[in-house]
Amino acid sequence: MKEGLRSLFFLLINRHMTALNRTPNNTNFFQSNKFLLTFLRAPAMQYFCQSVNLPGVSLSEIPQSTPFVDIFRPGEKIIYDVLNVTFLVDEDLISWFEIHDWIRALTFPTKFDEYKNLGQLSPNAVNTTSPQYSDASLTLLNSKNNPTYRIKFIDCFPTTLSSIMMSTTDDANAVITADASFRFTVFNIDKV
């Protein structure tokens, strides 16, 4: 009886290791232009979004000293890269001002009322208990433009906003873009 179970075990293992079973179900490649960014706090920036990154993650490492060579052990904290967004600047500068006003209210450079009014910048999209933060979602689309994954960024806040360069030598059809960087607490990935 044991010999029969052993044979069945090896048959199952070998069956899963054939060349036919190593081919993935979906051989389509992910396309970098198949995404939707949803940023409730900054709808104009969201509308004019040109590019966004899915931030990388890393793990802290802890060295363990030995008499010979240090051995590294995995740490207990995940470290997220920054969320970067490039967007077109509309002629009313609304997409740029959304981020500028948010950063200015966070830092209240001239008076405390600027921070107090932070929740009034985007009243429909602001968390009333923590108005300095906004959640964001990045939806990834497949080759048929159907959503496959939704990455939700929790408690985002802007850390940088690029300058706007203007030049009289530019063509009248030149489009101006700006970059914004955001920090967040964590992101969660859900299959849609």
Can you spell out the DSSP letters for 3-16?
A: HHHHHHHHHHHHHH
- Alpha helices by DSSP H, listed for 27-144, are 43-47, 94-107, 113-116
**CA distances (Å), 185 to each of 79, 117, 174, in order?**
10, 23, 36
pLDDT digits (tens, 9 = 90+) for 77-86: 999 999 999 9
Q: What's residue 8's pLDDT?
A: 52
pLDDT digits (tens, 9 = 90+) for 137-169: 999 999 999 999 999 999 999 999 999 999 989
Region 23-30 average pLDDT = 82
Q: Does the pLDDT value for residue 17 go beyond 90?
A: no
Q: Does the pLDDT value for residue 128 go beyond 70?
A: no
Q: Does the pLDDT value for residue 11 go beyond 60?
A: no
Q: Parallel, antiparallel, or unpaired: how do β-strands 147-161 and 134-141 relate?
A: antiparallel
CA pair distance 178, 92, nearest whole angstrom: 14
Q: Domain-by-domain residue ranges, the chain?
A: 35-191
Residues 6+ apart with CB under 8 A from 64: 70, 71, 72, 73
Cα 17 from chain centroid (whole Å): 36
**CA distances (Å), 105 to each of 59, 115, 117, 178, in order?**
33, 5, 7, 20
CA pair distance 12, 121, nearest whole angstrom: 61
Q: What is the CATH number of domain 35-191?
A: 2.30.110
